[in-house]
Amino acid sequence: MKKSVIVLGSTGSVGRQVLEVIQKEKNYFNVVGLTARGNFELLQKQIDAFLPQAVALVDKRKAKKLDTAGKRIRIYEGEEGVTEIARSLPTDMVFSCIVGKAALIPTLEAIKAGRDVALANKESMVIAGDILKKEAKKRGVSLIPVDSEEVAIFQCLKDNSINSVRRIYLTASGGPLYKWKGDFSEITPQQALSHPRWRMGQKISLDSATLANKALEVIETSHFFDIEAEKIKVLIHPQAIVHSLVEFVDGSILGQLGITDMRLPIHYALNYPYRRESYLPFLPLTQLEKIGFESPDFQKFPALRLGYEAGGKGGTLPAVFSAANEVAGEAFLKRAITFDRIPYFIEEVMKKHKIIYNPSLEEILNTDEWARRETYKLMRDL
């Protein structure tokens, strides 16, 4: 029988690749639900190609334009429509590919409804990891990572207790600006978005340039695998072939290597817990350029230091880091602030925050709103 799948954020970079893998492996998978924010044209094409049972578009005006004539497809509108699909449409698996904090509620509702979740979105794990994991455990739901680094660690840890881990090495390509020698205030959005290795959505591309993406992954890893942030070490690995490594207490190191292509972790997550042959290219080991690792430059990329601080202190601080980063990042892309100001604003808002430990969902959501307001206020005052 085919595995049924809902793709939340189907019009994004990851969402589109999930649908591509499903299309190629259509004997095994069946798309039952799709959601997007505003990209009505692409969602329409996906509806015509996959004939899901239900779709949701956040933009209510555009949702009215979707053409499902002659097809038995339910249309939902608004953010509540996205959550409704995640919660109520019967399915074997929900792929969470929405960007930013907007993924949190639909992902949580999917878990509460007992659906297995493949988690590409990292911000929800960063800001509410304890809550997501607790709900998943309570309902016997599998949470499968999709972020390439997390999938690597997930595979290395299989059949190994987290207590036998000495350290996790989280690899980072370094993004487009790692070797940048000039003034960081002069970097343009175009320069910051030109990632040398991965083709991704705007937010994660910018986060890769500031290394906020790696900071988010330190926190994500810490939640996913129940390990302290201080045991996670970031390594700059420009070739992006080794997707992460786990060092055990006996000195053995396991790593996962693979092509630099999100379709590989997507294929893994879709097929989990089985490992099925894929149509993707294999890694040409004998043709690889030299593989290297180096320590990151925390001074040049303060967002990484701030991510460690947020992950180390925990409570509501990761939600503050994530929200301030989202707001400052968007402001930079609109050219309202300079590149070097992104970590500056994150740090200033973090300094003002009084951490709540073991926060409820409501406290996390209130903190997120507070941090967004504070970031806007600081940007206005400057």
Ligand X SMILES: NC(=O)c1ccc[n+]([C@@H]2O[C@H](COP(=O)([O-])OP(=O)(O)OC[C@H]3O[C@@H](n4cnc5c(N)ncnc54)[C@H](OP(=O)(O)O)[C@@H]3O)[C@@H](O)[C@H]2O)c1
Q: Which residues bind ligand X (CB under 6 A)?
A: 9-15, 36-39, 58, 79, 82, 97-99, 102, 120-123, 147, 198, 200-204, 262
Beta carbon nearer to ligand X, 94 or 378: 94
Cβ–Cβ under 8 Å, residues 40 and 66: yes
Residue nearest to ligand X (CB): 12
Q: Which residue has the tokens 């290297």?
A: 292
Cβ closer to ligand X: 97 or 245? 97
User: Taking the complex as a whole, how short is the minimal distance between the CB of residue 163 and ligand X, in angstroms?
Assistant: 28
In the complex, minimum distance from the CB of residue 102 to ligand X, in angstroms, rounded to a whole number = 3
> Least distance (Å) from ligand X to the CB of residue 149?
8
Nearest residue (CB) to ligand X, 43 versus 156: 43
* Residue (261 or 309) nearer to ligand X, CB: 261
> Measured from the CB of residue 114, what is the shortest distance to ligand X in angstroms?
22
CB contact at 8 A, 91 and 83: no
Q: Which is nearer to ligand X, 203 or 237 (CB)?
A: 203
Distance CA 17, CA 27 (A): 17
Helix (H) or strand (E) holding 104: helix 104-112
**CB contact set of 65 (below 8 Å; sequence gap of 6+):** 40
- Per-residue DSSP letter, 2: P
> What is the three-state SS of 280-326?
CCCCCHHHCCCCCCECCCCCCCHHHHHHHHHHHHCCCHHHHHHHHHH
Provide the strand spans (E) within the chain. Answer: 3-8, 29-36, 54-57, 74-77, 93-96, 116-119, 143-145, 165-172, 232-236, 242-248, 253-257
Between CA 103 and CA 125 the distance in angstroms is 10
CB of 120 vs ligand X, minimal distance in Å:
4
For the chain, give the number of residues: 382
Q: Is 266:21 a contact under the CB 8 Å cutoff?
A: yes
Comparison of 218 and 378: residue with beta carbon closer to ligand X: 218
CA distances from 25 to 151, 163, 268, 281, 296 (A): 20, 37, 12, 15, 39
**How far is 99 from 121, CA to CA, in rounded Å?**
6
Instruction: Rank residues 14 and 192 by Cβ distance to ligand X and give the closer one.
Output: 14
Measured from the CB atom, the residue of 204 and 211 that comes closer to ligand X is 204
Closest approach, Cβ 7 to ligand X, in A, equals: 9
Token pair belonging to 373: 């307001």
Q: How far is the CB of 38 from ligand X (least distance, A)?
A: 4
If the CB atoms of residues 247 and 343 are measured against ligand X, the closer one turns out to be 343
Q: Which of 37, 33, 36 is nearest to 52 (CA)?
A: 33
